[in-house]
């Protein structure tokens, strides 16, 4: 098959207008990433109102599950109908979901609203990367996409502190309602400034393939959470979910082989770059996104920090992310090489997770901050490589689908990791006989309740949680090692210097 790239005129010819469009794209990203970060430190307050601490993880995983399930669909819709209106529809859905979250009356209604919000959030993230591919050439794209780290730094630094502060001052509902004015502003800007480019192809939506893919992803995430749902990952209901996932995955492959416009074209797998980066993205999502809620829980339970104080540690993480991503983006733009950054990123991930596994209740806070900074640096260094790599290896007509697949595996990895990490914490706490003054069931102990305990009881709880987190960090280190093996297996590819060059070839 001829995989050559046909030169295409930039979506926006005027450089100044292109930068303004890029600014609105980054504003949309800020809205989506702020939502993830701002919720993390507000979760204890939400649990305090609704109860149901056992469903703590589902407030995050419901959003990520919905996000990951629809990402490849949005990527394909953008390829078929054009990016502009697909992205605007995603922003509308996300904004309505935010309103529903702010009006939630129970834990179940909040989780349902988070699903609606995720259905829009997935489209926002995929559309941003796809529009960037239309706006900028390959090397220039690497540099501009690295600027997204500034957005991540802003949302990551402000979000956790803002979440705790807004919950105290205005109630937790305000953390969702703040998305309404942001969404309206972004919609207005894109409506007037982002051109609409009608694709040459006639739209043929692979509804059946999208359905089977969503069912497969949902089944995998449910299985990852089956220890909480059914008591064991080997319970007959858990094994039934595994069997169902295998059937839907098989049916998805059969449908994609015959579909005129498959949601994830199987031809993408012919180049080893694509499947290897799927593994890298899956692992990176678990480390970079899936760990966020658990960092907050780790800090609040093992150190006794308040939600707002624990949120300050996210500045170390996001500072590392922005430093790593900006550095990698500029170097990829300059050299055209991206494999090395995935290798370094996951190597740092292994070391950081092993280091965290050695932390205990009495570990000085500055040491934890240093490790979290290092983990953020690793995440930032590897952030650009998967999306740049698959966009470079994919045919022009499949860039949206390929971008969606990368985002899918990243968010899917985060959703799976949240469920697995939660099961590890829960199983370790269930196996502990608690005899601490002032503590009934440790699983029902919120950070607010912990702060009201005597010092001796706080110390005992901190030690129990530190012990429960140790196997979690070991599991995270093992998954990082799997991603590192995949990164090492990547071909050493250099990006083309200009759009008129032929596709990058392996460096001898």
* Full 3-state SS string of 15-62: HHHHHHHHHHHHHHHHHHHHHHHHHHCCHHHHHHHHCCHHHCCHHHHH
Closest by CA position to 295, among listed 219, 406, 373, 222: 373
pLDDT for residue 437: 57
Structure-token pair, residue 491: 């071909």
Instruction: Give the per-residue pLDDT at 2.
Output: 41
Inter-axis angle of helices 83-102 and 107-135, to 10 degrees? 160
Q: What is the pLDDT of residue 409?
A: 81
Contacts 24+ apart (CB under 8 A), 167-173: 167/41, 167/42, 167/45, 167/307, 168/45, 168/308, 172/42, 172/45, 172/46, 172/49, 173/101, 173/102, 173/103, 173/104
**Given this model, what pLDDT does residue 440 score?**
60
CB neighbour list of residue 156: distance below 8 Å, 6 or more residues apart: 33, 37, 314, 315, 317, 318, 321
Extract the residue ranges of the chain whose pLDDT is less than 50: 1-7, 433, 499-508
Supply the pLDDT for residue 86. 82
HSE toward the beta carbon, residue 303, CA cutoff 13 A: 21
Give pLDDT, residue 501: 42
The CA distance from 317 to 374, in Å, is: 8
C-alpha dihedral, 388 to 66 to 298 to 107, nearest 10°: 160
Q: Characterize 168-181 residue by residue with b for buried, 16 or more Cβ atoms within 10 angstroms of its Cβ, and e for exposed.
A: eeeebbbbbbbbee
pTM of the predicted model as reported, rounded to 2 decimal places: 0.70
Report in angstroms the alpha-carbon separations of 270 from 278, 394, 395, 400, 415: 13, 10, 12, 17, 27
Q: What is the per-residue pLDDT for 6?
A: 45
List phi, psi (to 5°) of 492. Answer: -85, 100
CA pseudo-torsion sign 338, 344, 347, 353:
negative
Q: Check if the beta carbon of residue 36 is closer than 8 Å to that of residue 318.
A: no
366: Cβ–Cβ under 8 A, 6 or more apart, which residues? none
Measured CA to CA in angstroms, residue 229 lies from 57, 226, 233, 237, 241 at distances of 12, 5, 9, 9, 12
Report d(CA 84, CA 224) in Å as an integer: 35
């Amino acid at each position: 098959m001829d995989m050559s790239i046909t030169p295409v005129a930039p979506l926006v010819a005027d450089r100044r207008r292109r930068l303004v469009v890029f600014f609105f794209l980054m504003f949309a990203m800020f809205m989506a990433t702020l939502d993830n970060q701002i919720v993390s430190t507000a979760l204890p307050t939400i649990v305090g109102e609704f109860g149901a601490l056992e469903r703590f993880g589902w407030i995050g995983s419901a959003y990520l599950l919905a996000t990951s399930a629809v990402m490849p669909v949005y990527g394909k819709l953008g390829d078929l109908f054009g990016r502009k209106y697909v992205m605007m529809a995603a922003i509308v859905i996300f904004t309505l979901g935010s309103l529903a979250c702010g009006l939630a009356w129970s834990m179940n209604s909040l989780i349902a609203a988070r699903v609606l919000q995720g259905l829009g959030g997935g489209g926002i993230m995929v559309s941003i990367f796809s529009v960037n591919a239309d706006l900028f050439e390959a090397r220039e794209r690497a540099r501009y996409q690295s600027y997204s780290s500034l957005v991540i730094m802003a949302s990551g630094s402000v979000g956790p502190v803002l979440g705790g502060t807004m919950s105290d001052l205005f109630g937790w509902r305000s953390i969702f309602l703040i998305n309404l004015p942001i969404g309206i502003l972004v919609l207005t800007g894109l409506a007037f400034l982002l051109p609409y480019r009608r694709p040459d192809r006639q739209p043929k939506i692979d509804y059946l393939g999208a359905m089977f893919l969503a069912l497969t992803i949902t089944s995998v995430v449910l299985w990852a959470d089956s220890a909480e749902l059914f008591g064991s990952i080997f319970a007959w209901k858990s094994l039934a979910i595994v069997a169902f996932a295998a059937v839907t995955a098989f049916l998805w492959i059969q449908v994609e082989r015959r579909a005129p416009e498959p949601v994830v074209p199987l031809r993408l797998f012919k180049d080893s770059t694509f499947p290897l980066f799927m593994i890298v993205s899956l692992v990176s999502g678990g480390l970079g996104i899936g760990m966020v809620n658990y960092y907050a829980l780790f800090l609040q339970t093992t150190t006794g920090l308040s939600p707002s104080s624990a949120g300050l540690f996210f500045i170390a993480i996001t500072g590392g992310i922005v430093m790593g991503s900006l550095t990698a983006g500029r170097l990829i733009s300059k050299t055209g090489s991206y494999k090395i950054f995935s290798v370094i990123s996951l190597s740092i991930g292994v070391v950081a997770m092993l280091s965290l596994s050695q932390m205990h209740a009495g570990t000085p806070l500055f040491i934890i901050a240093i490790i979290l900074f290092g983990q953020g640096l690793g995440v930032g260094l590897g952030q650009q490589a998967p999306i740049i790599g698959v966009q470079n290896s994919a045919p022009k007509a499949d860039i949206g689908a390929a971008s969606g697949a990368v985002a899918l595996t990243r968010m899917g990895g985060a959703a799976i990791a949240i469920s697995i990490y939660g099961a590890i914490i829960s199983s370790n706490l269930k196996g502990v006989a608690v005899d601490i003054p002032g503590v009934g069931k440790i699983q029902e102990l919120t950070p607010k309740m912990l702060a009201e305990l005597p010092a001796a009881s706080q110390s005992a709880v901190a030690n129990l949680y530190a012990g429960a987190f140790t196997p979690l960090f070991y599991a995270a280190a093992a998954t990082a090692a799997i991603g590192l093996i995949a990164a090492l297996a990547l071909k050493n590819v250099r990006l083309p210097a200009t759009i008129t060059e032929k596709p990058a070839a392996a460096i001898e």
